[in-house]
């Protein structure tokens, strides 16, 4: 029996019935409240599964990651809030650390960060660009708001950010095909954000950014220690960078290119 913690856990979800159950199961025994913002057109059983774990479910049209997460945060009722994705699980060690952290947090603390460890191709990735991948997810509701640049929403914190040690378990990109499928939508979102911010794609970006991304992840951050998955991740990250800047360069040359969509929802 777990002691209930004064924490509201909130999710932004699409059609995630195939995997959100593990995330809900990891917080249900101790979370005071669970809130799920679900895309209005989802029919795969995600809502029924979330409600079976006691979650409050709200169906809303897609407003982007920042808009959806902001909407979910507003609907929480606890002082302490914890945001999770459908493919993330709170480990036993992280749960214990969270309980200690919120019980001893001083008034200067606005949020806590913790490392996120991703499972890919049957292996936990502990080097390269994917680890420690610190994320800020546990925060006082009155000290944060959602900002960032689509599709990379992030919590903007007023106050100190303390660091926890235990890993958030990330069951994402279970196959190479799924990893590849994300490159196009995320690159399109990068292009749209770049157009708004005035970012330009220079030839130096096209020539050197992808190479630097591979060298940084595989050699400097020791991605090679993760074996074949580490090798693939380094090349995939380099290709993603090349794709983003090539798409941006194409937009600059042809403002209405064919075959590039800016719509991006959770995959």
Residues 71, 45: contact at Cβ < 8 Å?
Answer: no
pLDDT at 267: 54
Residue-wise pLDDT tens for the chain (267 aa)? 689 999 999 999 999 999 999 999 999 999 999 999 999 999 999 999 999 999 999 999 999 899 999 999 999 999 999 999 999 999 999 999 999 999 999 999 999 999 999 999 999 999 999 999 999 999 999 999 999 887 789 999 999 999 999 999 999 766 888 888 888 888 888 888 888 888 888 999 999 999 999 999 999 999 999 999 999 999 999 999 999 999 999 887 766 555 544 455 555
For residues 236 and 180, give the distance between their C-alpha atoms in angstroms, rounded to a whole number: 8
Q: Are strands 116-120 and 168-170 parallel, antiparallel or unpaired?
A: parallel
Note the CATH architecture for domain 5-170: Alpha-Beta Complex (3.90)
For residues 28 and 26, give the distance between their C-alpha atoms in angstroms, rounded to a whole number: 6
Residues 142, 79: contact at Cβ < 8 Å?
Answer: yes
CA proximity to 69, closest of 87, 47, 88, 84 = 84
For residues 168 and 236, give the distance between their C-alpha atoms in angstroms, rounded to a whole number: 23
Contacting residues for 69 by C-beta, under 8 A, at least 6 apart = 10, 12, 37, 83, 146, 153
Question: Residue written as tokens 């080097």?
Answer: 127
For residues 235 and 223, give the distance between their C-alpha atoms in angstroms, rounded to a whole number: 11
Contacting residues for 124 by C-beta, under 8 A, at least 6 apart = 117, 118
Helix (H, G, I), strand (E, B) or coil at 194: helix
The residue ranges of every structural domain in the chain are 5-170, 176-253
Q: What is the pTM of this model?
A: 0.86
Q: Phi and psi (nearest 5°) for 58?
A: -125, 125
């Amino acid at each position: 029996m777990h002691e209930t913690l004064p924490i509201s856990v909130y999710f932004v979800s699409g059609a995630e019935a195939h995997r959100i159950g593990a995330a809900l199961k990891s917080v249900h025994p101790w979370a005071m409240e669970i809130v799920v913002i679900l895309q209005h057109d989802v029919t795969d059983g995600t809502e029924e599964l979330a409600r079976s774990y006691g979650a409050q479910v709200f169906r809303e049209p897609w407003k982007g990651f920042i808009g959806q997460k902001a909407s979910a945060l507003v609907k929480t009722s606890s002082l302490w809030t914890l945001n999770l994705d459908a493919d993330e699980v709170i480990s036993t060690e992280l749960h214990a650390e969270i309980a200690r952290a919120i019980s001893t947090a001083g008034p200067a603390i606005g949020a806590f960060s913790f490392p996120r460890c991703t499972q890919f191709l049957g292996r936990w990735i502990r080097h390269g660009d994917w680890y420690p991948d610190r994320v800020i997810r546990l925060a006082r509701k009155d000290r944060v708001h959602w900002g960032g640049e689509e599709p990379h929403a992030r919590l903007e914190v007023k106050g100190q950010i303390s660091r926890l040690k235990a890993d958030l378990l990330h069951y994402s990109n279970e196959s190479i095909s799924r990893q590849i499928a994300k490159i196009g939508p995320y690159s399109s979102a990068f292009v749209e954000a770049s157009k708004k911010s005035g970012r330009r794609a220079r030839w130096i970006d096209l020539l050197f950014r992808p190479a630097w991304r591979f060298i940084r992840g595989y050699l400097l951050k020791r991605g090679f220690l993760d074996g074949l998955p580490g090798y693939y991740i380094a090349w995939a990250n380099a290709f993603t960078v090349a794709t983003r800047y090539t798409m941006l360069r194409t937009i600059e040359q042809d403002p209405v290119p064919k075959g590039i969509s800016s719509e991006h929802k959770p995959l």
